[in-house]
Amino acid sequence: MIAVIDYKAGNLTSVVKALTYLGAETQVTQDPKVVRSASKVVLPGVGHFQATQLLTDLGLTEAVRESVAKGTWFLGVCVGLQWLFEGSTEAPDVAGLGHFAGMCERFPASFEGSELKSPHVGWNSLEDVRQDSKLLRGVQVRGFVYYTHSWRAPVVNSTAAVTSYGGPFTGAVERDNVMGVQFHPEKSSSVGLQVLKNFVEL
């Protein structure tokens, strides 16, 4: 069973729909016990990083920490990926899980002398796809995925794919059983479905 964490931060229905389409059994939950007993956990989310404070308030941060420590597969989507890092300048007082080092930061106002529009919305390509990535198995370099975000995660050792917009940022991150994607797999056509399928089949 895949526990899909509900912390009132959008795109939940579309993620559940995509997982169900792929044959996965899902349970939408705010219950730490359900998270602890699930075989896999998905944390979707769009919007403000501040919303992730609810995860701590409901005891879900600790439940996720315990689950991943015992090897449960975890996938964060969009804000869910950002939460895997130490935090975000969007809500400096709200701590992330801290599984990956670094802070998420807003796109710069300009890049290489030109104005940079924010949010970054639309299709963009995945570069430097890590060959050993379980999550991105079968995904081609320069495969296109759909983004909509104003804050981005830094490129780190565990980055599994990079996207460039105002400089490089982490499009996907993966270390052992903990994974995240900044793009929306449920809106990313065949590439996005492949990513979700890979996760479901782990």
Instruction: Residue 101: give the domain boundaries.
Output: 2-200
For the chain, the domain total comes to: 1
Task: Write out the catalytic residue numbers.
Answer: 78, 184, 186
d(CA 82, CA 100): 9
d(CA 60, CA 160): 26
Could you read off the pLDDT of 122-152 as tens digits, one per residue?
Answer: 999 999 999 999 999 999 999 999 999 999 9
Q: Are strands 120-125 and 144-149 parallel, antiparallel or unpaired?
A: antiparallel
If we measure between CA atoms, which residue out of 64, 5, 71 comes closest to residue 36? 64
> What separation in angstroms does the CA of 117 have from each of 10, 41, 108?
23, 33, 9
Could you read off the pLDDT of 10-32 as tens digits, one per residue?
Answer: 779 999 999 999 999 999 999 99
Q: What is the pLDDT of residue 189?
A: 96
The burial class, CB within 10 Å (0-12 / 13-18 / 19+), for 103 is middle
Q: Which CATH number does the domain housing residue 65 bear?
A: 3.40.50.880
Residue 165: φ, ψ to 5°: -160, 110
Q: What is the pLDDT of residue 47?
A: 87
d(CA 133, CA 194): 13
H helical segments located in the chain = 12-21, 32-37, 53-57, 60-69, 79-83, 189-200
3-state secondary structure of 41: strand
d(CA 92, CA 99): 17
Q: What is the pLDDT of residue 149?
A: 97
**pTM, to two decimals:** 0.97
Residue 180 scores a pLDDT above 80:
yes
Could you read off the pLDDT of 53-105 as tens digits, one per residue?
Answer: 999 999 999 999 999 999 999 999 999 999 999 999 999 999 999 999 999 99
Q: What is the pLDDT of residue 87?
A: 98
